[in-house]
Amino acid sequence: MRAAPLVCVPGLGLDPAAWAPTIASLPETDARVVVLPGYGVRPSRSDDLRPDALADRLVDRLVDLPTPVVLAAHSASCQIVVAAAASAPQLVSGLVLIGPTTDPRAGSWPSLAQRWLRTACWERPGQVPYLARTYRRTGLLWMARTMEAARRDDVRQGLAAVRCPVLVVRGRHDRICPDDWARAVASIAPAGSRAVTLAQGGHMVPLTHGVLLAAAVRELTGA
């Protein structure tokens, strides 16, 4: 059976290169990256950065692709793909949510910062130059505005309307998406959904642990 196409959305402030290690570990899969304002490209003043609005833009991109697809997202972009799957179920056969935000226990800026710091010590230092470049390209002010639009959005509400199976993945040392939050997200999704904790990694596993993440993604793509 042919593997389902995979469409990946970068995390907040990142670009397609953040998915490159994972996609390179899925050579048998038709995989591509779709960028959105704040998630791959710098927003403009006219862009609506709310997850639901960005989901509409994602759906517009999906209609031009062979569907249904498996949508994969990282961190704050998980809220976007969930909304897209809920609004256009005929286009989506599965969801992979990597380190989904935002755990309501860490919805405030101080709590988010604390969890980020507790996770950062487990991240690979070699990614810092890449992150500095892509964050600068997106713009720190725009990143803050995009996160402000996302941090109060409850991904669980959208999942209640999703019809496809969902795989929630987190790195072992991800404090932004702790294990109990990942399991809580998966528990709301349709039957067959589950949460997986990788043996290694922090929050940036699409970039730092592509081989491990690819093995988990194959579960939904059927590769």
Residue 1 has pLDDT above 70, yes or no: no
Mean pLDDT of the chain: 94
Confidence of residue 223 (pLDDT cuts 50, 70, 90): low
Contacts of 163 (CB under 8 A, 6+ apart): 85, 89, 190
Indicate the pTM of the whole model. 0.95
pLDDT at 152 over 70: yes
Those residues whose C-beta lies under 8 Å from the C-beta of residue 186, and which sit 6 or more positions away, are 166, 167, 168, 193, 194, 195
Taking residue 118's Cβ as centre, other Cβ atoms within 10 Å add up to 15
Which residues of the chain form beta strands (DSSP E)?
6-9, 31-33, 36-37, 40-41, 69-74, 92-98, 166-170, 194-197
DSSP assignments along 44-57, one per residue? -TT---SHHHHHHH
Q: How far is CA 52 from CA 80, 108, 147, 209, in A?
A: 6, 20, 13, 29
- Strand pairing of 31-33 and 6-9? parallel
Task: In whole angstroms, give the CA distance from residue 152 to residue 193.
Answer: 24
- pLDDT for the residue numbered 112: 86
Question: Quick check: 134 and 18 in contact, CB under 8 A?
Answer: yes
pLDDT over threshold 60, residue 63: yes
User: Distances from the Cα of 47 to the Cαs of 78, 117, 174, in angstroms?
Assistant: 19, 30, 30
pLDDT of residue 4: 86
* Model confidence band, residue 139 (pLDDT cutoffs 50, 70, 90): very high
The predicted-structure confidence for 196-222, as pLDDT tens digits, reads as follows 999 999 999 999 999 999 999 998 877
Q: Closest Cα to residue 81, out of 66, 101, 64?
A: 101
What is the pLDDT, as a whole number, of residue 2?
A: 64
Of the two residues 110 and 10, the one the predictor is more confident about is 10
Tell me the mean pLDDT in the region 13-17.
Answer: 97
* pLDDT one-digit tens code per residue, 164-187: 999 999 999 999 999 999 999 999
Residue 118 pLDDT = 92
* Answer CATH for 6-221 from 3.30.70.1400, 2.140.10.30, 1.10.10.10, 3.40.50.1820: 3.40.50.1820
Radius of gyration of the chain (CA): 16
Residues shown for the chain:
223
Q: What CA–CA distance (Å, rounded) separates 57 from 88?
A: 12
